[in-house]
């Protein structure tokens, strides 16, 4: 696996934004910071979310996205993307959903983090770019990003690497989980495979448990 480096560490508190001619309150428009930040169980100091039902919490403390995908989306959207274009806390080089598994543990600065689920694109992201089809485009591309929970609090900053510390033995990749939830929802064996991962977030576990009911 190539070295994954944090190219930008981004934070932001919820504020009013005008997206697609509508005013909404959101924390998606994050700003890069150059200093070291404390990472606690619920995220970076100075960061926050507005929609607590779908974002934030310990299972989704840190959002990471591959900076390598920016050029692809700039071509799709026909525009230059801003920093933290997907509302991510960590813009990371060489992050690949194929290579990373739910439950994998990484060192991030002095903190220890664990992959909990894929990032699920939302309507706020679509509104930001004025594309009603953007959620589907992100899901279909497989370039979703992912969430970490924080196992050990610590400090992190731009330029640190995501250092692999422990591979989940079940090796259920972020890509595989995305594929089952979004494209192969009657794959009962696949559903059970994802549910067997103890580190799976509670929200995704509930979604997969609902899928399991349709298999019975």
pLDDT < 50 positions in the chain: none
Distance CA 116, CA 103 (A): 6
Q: What is the pLDDT of residue 19?
A: 86
For residue 6, which of 204, 158, 166, 167 has the smallest C-alpha distance?
Answer: 158
Alpha helices in 53-142 (DSSP H): 70-77, 123-128, 134-141
Distance CA 75, CA 69 (A): 10
What's the sign of the alpha-carbon dihedral 120, 125, 129, 130? positive
Give the global pTM: 0.95
pLDDT in tens, 71-99: 999 999 999 999 999 999 999 999 999 99
Q: Is 208 exposed, middle or buried (0-12, 13-18, 19+ CB in 10 A)?
A: buried
Q: What is the pLDDT of residue 53?
A: 67
Q: Which helix (H) or strand (E) covers residue 191, if one does? A: helix 188-195
| Torsions phi, psi for 153 (to 5 deg) | -65, 155
Distance CA 86, CA 151 (A): 24
Any residues with CB less than 8 A from the CB of 9 and at least 6 apart, and which? 32, 33, 37, 44, 89, 90, 156, 157, 158
Question: Are 3 and 95 a contacting pair, CB within 8 Å?
Answer: no
Q: What are the CA-CA distances from residue 64 to residues 5, 24, 52, 120 (Å)?
A: 11, 23, 18, 12
- 43: which 2 tokens? 């995220």
Instruction: Quickly count: other Cβ atoms within 10 Å of residue 70's Cβ.
Output: 19
Q: Domains of the chain (ranges plus CATH)?
A: 4-167 (2.40.33.20)
Q: What is the pLDDT of residue 54?
A: 65
For residue 162, which of 45, 46, 65 has the smallest C-alpha distance?
Answer: 65
State percent of the chain over pLDDT 70.
97
Q: What is the pLDDT of residue 2?
A: 85
């Amino acid at each position: 696996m190539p070295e994954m480096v944090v190219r930008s560490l981004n934070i932001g508190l919820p504020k009013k934004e005008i997206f697609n001619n509508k005013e909404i309150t959101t924390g998606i428009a994050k700003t890069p910071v150059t200093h070291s930040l404390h990472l606690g169980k619920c995220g970076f100091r100075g960061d926050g979310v507005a929609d607590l039902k779908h974002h934030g919490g310990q299972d989704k403390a840190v959002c990471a996205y591959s900076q390598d995908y920016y050029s692809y989306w700039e071509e799709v959207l026909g525009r230059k993307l801003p920093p933290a274009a997907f509302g991510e806390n960590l813009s990371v080089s060489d992050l690949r959903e194929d290579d990373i598994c739910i439950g994998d543990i990484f060192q991030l600065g002095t903190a220890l983090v664990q992959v909990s689920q894929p990032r699920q694109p939302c309507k706020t992201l679509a509104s930001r770019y004025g594309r009603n089809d953007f959620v589907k485009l992100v899901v279909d591309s497989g370039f979703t990003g992912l969430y970490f929970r924080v196992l050990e609090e610590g400090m992190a900053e731009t330029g640190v690497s995501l250092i692999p510390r422990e591979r989940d033995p079940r090796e259920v990749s972020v890509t595989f989980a995305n594929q089952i939830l979004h494209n192969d929802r009657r794959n009962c064996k696949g559903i059970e495979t994802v549910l067997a991962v103890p580190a799976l977030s509670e929200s995704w576990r509930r979604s997969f448990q609902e899928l399991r009911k349709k298999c019975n």
